[in-house]
Structures are given as structure tokens and as C-alpha cells.
Structure 1
Amino acid sequence: MAHVFIIGGAGKIGQRLCRILSGRGHAVRALYRKPEQQALLGELGAEPVSGSLTELDAAALAMHFAGSDTVVFTAGAGGKGGQEMTNAVDGEGLKKSVAAALSAGVSRFLLVSAFPESARGETTSESFENYMRVKKMADVELAQSELDWVILRPGALQDKTGTGYVRAGLAIPYGNVPRDDVAATLAELIEQPAVSRVIIELTSGDAPVREAIQKLAGR
């Protein structure tokens, strides 16, 4: 049984991951900010932990992480609050979380990042370009750490029901992927520790999630 702490547990991917992990018998704790999210996380099988990522420092986060063997960072400003909030959540929030994980003795850290081809060839705003820069900087921060990390870069996220079939690799063509399948992939990464210190791109595909992740073990 894994002991998992999810940052962004009340988000669309986080909620799905809470449900999957608790259903498989793992111990799940999830950070939440809004009071109404507490009951929701409990219903999903997670232990709710109150706190705001933008207000907690690394020392406080480390206290929350105590007893966990895996941290999943799937938080994101989602374009709300402009560049300042993106910098605070996706950038500084990740940086603090990495420091906290190291301090707390957490062994594994999974980060949901962004596919580098996202919106390429389209007219984008400066806010979006800042988002992509911050996401890349967060990847660098984690990859340079001493943690047992995996960075997952999903394609264009969809809310439709997942198929359980994906394409996962070090470099693959850009495409869509349901959030259900992103959460299922994160669950497999938690259960397959042989997949380590690698950046994985993810889209819909024709391989069962478990099989797709197994093929990446030992790379």
C-alpha cells in the first residue's frame, strides 16, 4: 500500500486520482483550499488536508507530507488570476513542494506538466506563453532534484470518459487524452516504481495503461 499526498486533489485530475487510489487500497491525503472541497475529497476516499499552496511555506508543506512515500503535484492555476497566480501555483508552488518533499524524506514525486506542442501554430496570449515557460521551469526544478521523480506531460485534456488505452513515450505526436486516462496513468506510475527519473508524454492510444507504463520501466 502506497501512502500518497496529492497537491491539487480537488482538481479534475486530482479527484479522479483520489478515487482510483482509494479504490485500490492506497492511503490518500489531499490538500484543499475551499471549505466545500473537504467533504468532496472525503467522499472520494481521501483524507482532506486544509491549506493553500500559495500561503504554505516549504516547512509547513513538509509537515503535511510526513508519513507519505509519494507526492503527486497536479495543481495548476488554470489561467485564473493571470500570470501572477500561474507563477505562484505552477512555479513557486512546485518549487516549495520539491523542497518540502526532500525535507520530509518523501521518496517519489510525480508532476503533471504540459505537452511542449500545446497550442503551437495557434495565436496565443502572453499569459499562455508565460504558463508554458513556468511549466518548463518547474520541470527543470524537479528534474535537477535528488528525488525519485517522474514528469508526465499529457496532451490536450478532455472530460469525456476514458478508454483505458493510451500512447506513452519519451517523445510522441501531440494529441488528446481524457483526464480519466491521465489519472489512471498516474496511478500506474505510483504502483510501478521501476519507472523513474523520466519525462513521459501521454495521449490517447491503443495500449492498455498498465502495459504502456510497464514498457517504460528501466529507461
Structure 2
Amino acid sequence: MDVFIIGITGRIGRLLAGKLRDRGDTVSGLVRRSRDEADFAASGIRTSLGDVSVMTPQELATAAEGADVIVYTAGSNGGARHVTEAIDRDGVAKAAEAAHLAGVRRFTLVSVFPEAWRERDLPEDEEYYFAAKKEAEVSLTHSDLDWLILRPSLLTDEPGTGRIAIGPAELHEQISRHDVATALTLILHEPRISRQILELNEGGSPIETAVARCIRSPARRTKSGGSEP
């Protein structure tokens, strides 16, 4: 599989790229600094130099040309509003348009839990960040792409446990970035997990088992010509 990652220099993006490469996939991505190009090239990963916040959809499409799936893991983490808009909201819409232009049907977005940090009194700019993330999700789900949205809970840099909980609604606790990258690698290799919003948290099920439960069986045709689950 050929995977193009927007956000490949981030912690989840780097972990995902390594896991996909080790699996034998072709991995490429977008970087903003030439030194990152050299680092990834040494690992056998091709990159294009560019900034999603200022690139046009056509420029992004050119970078992603030939990919089977675009994965968007970039995020501003709730900084200044103009950065949040450019990365977390408009960047996703721009990348989705680029997918159309490049003929890439599959698009996976790493987003956030809607209730993340609800127990805190957040600054207005961080509240705006969550609103921008939701706008990006809505825009993507209204597209005709083969989309998938993954919402991890609070991210940590702890070693992965290899056990998760994943589904349409999960508790918001915490999860290792390593386990997120492992789960995402398996999801990308399972095309039957499609057009779903999945929440991801630490849990008690082995990652392969948990991800397999997200597979949707094709609808069966009925005698009347309709379909049933």
C-alpha cells in the first residue's frame, strides 16, 4: 500500500510511518524543513517539502499523487487562532480537495475527542481549537471520499500496552501514541473499516482483536431488491 501522511513529522506521524515501512508499505509525507527530508530519506521514506497551511490543493495533490490513502495527523494543539484555522480546519478541507484532484479515494483523519479536557476551564483559543476540529470532521463526513475519523483520548509517550478499546463511543482517559500508531496501521490495511468515526482509548482487548470488531460486513441483498444489515 502507498500511504501519504500529512503531519509525518509529528509524534504519531513518525511512529505510523515507521510501522508502515516495516510492514513493507510505501510511505511518503509532507515536511517543512529540508533537514527532515534528509532524515526520512535515510529511513527509506520519501518526502515533499511544503507547508499545508499555505499550499494550494493542487500543490498538495501533486505531492500525494499515486497514493492509495492520505492520512492527516497534523494539528496545532490549540495555539493562535489563525494557526488553528490553517491547520486544524482549512488544512483538512484543502487536503480532502487535494485527494479528489489526485484521484485518492481513501482519507483518514486523526482528530480529538469532543469532550477532551471538558473538566478544565480552557482558554478561548483552546476552545476554538476543538470547534475547528469538529468543523473539519463535519466537512469530511459530508464529502464523497472513503473517509475514516479516529479520535484518540489523551495521548502519552508511554510504551504501548498492545491493548485498547475502540468503537463509536469510548471513555476519554489516555492512550499511548505507540498504540494509536499500531491501531491506525491495522485500520489502514482493512478497507472494510470505512466511513466511520471511531474513538480510541486504552483498554483490555488486544489491538488486532479490537480493530477487527470494527469491520462492517457488506449488506445482504433481499428478494425485494433492498438491503439489510
State if a TM-score over 0.5 links the two structures: yes
What whole-Å deviation, never above 9, does each CA across 1:65-87 have from its counterpart, x for those lacking one?
1100100000011234x111010
Q: 1:31 and 1:5 mapped to 2: Cα distance?
A: 8
The answer to whether the 8 Å contact 2:78/2:128 transfers is no
Q: 1:65 and 1:15 mapped to 2: Cα distance?
A: 17
1:52 paired residue number: 51
The answer to whether the 8 Å contact 2:164/2:205 transfers is yes
Please give the residue correspondences for 1:82-97 in structure 2 after superposition, counting only pairs within 5 Å: 82-97=80-95
The answer to whether the 8 Å contact 2:77/2:129 transfers is no
Specify the structure having the higher radius of gyration (Cα): 2
Q: 1:174 and 1:161 mapped to 2: Cα distance?
A: 19
Q: 2:212 and 2:128 mapped to 1: Cα distance?
A: 34
What whole-Å deviation, never above 9, does each CA across 1:125-175 have from its counterpart, x for those lacking one?
101100000000000011111111110000000011111111001011111
Q: 2:198 and 2:42 mapped to 1: Cα distance?
A: 30
Q: 1:45 and 1:98 mapped to 2: Cα distance?
A: 26
Kindly indicate whether residue 8 of structure 2 is the aligned counterpart of residue 28 of structure 1: no
1:179 paired residue number: 177
Kindly indicate whether residue 167 of structure 2 is the aligned counterpart of residue 169 of structure 1: yes
Kindly indicate whether residue 101 of structure 2 is the aligned counterpart of residue 103 of structure 1: yes
2:206 paired residue number: 208
What whole-Å deviation, never above 9, does each CA across 1:17-75 have from its counterpart, x for those lacking one?
01000000000001000222222323443211111111210011111111001000000
Identity rate, percent: 38
The answer to whether the 8 Å contact 1:9/1:41 transfers is no
Kindly indicate whether residue 133 of structure 2 is the aligned counterpart of residue 144 of structure 1: no
Kindly indicate whether residue 127 of structure 2 is the aligned counterpart of residue 129 of structure 1: yes
The answer to whether the 8 Å contact 2:164/2:200 transfers is yes
SS state at 1:5 partner: strand
SS state at 2:112 partner: coil
What whole-Å deviation, never above 9, does each CA across 1:92-135 have from its counterpart, x for those lacking one?
11010000101111021100001111011211010110000000
SS state at 1:128 partner: helix
SS state at 2:58 partner: helix
The answer to whether the 8 Å contact 1:18/1:45 transfers is no
Structure 1: 5+ residue stretches without partners: none
Amino acid at match of 1:35: S
CA shift at 1:206, angstroms? Answer: 1.3
2:7 paired residue number: 8
SS state at 2:108 partner: strand
RMSD, aligned CA: 1.1
1:63 paired residue number: 62
SS state at 1:177 partner: strand
Equivalences, count = 217
Structure 2: 5+ residue stretches without partners: 218-229
Give the TM-score, by structure 1 length: 0.96
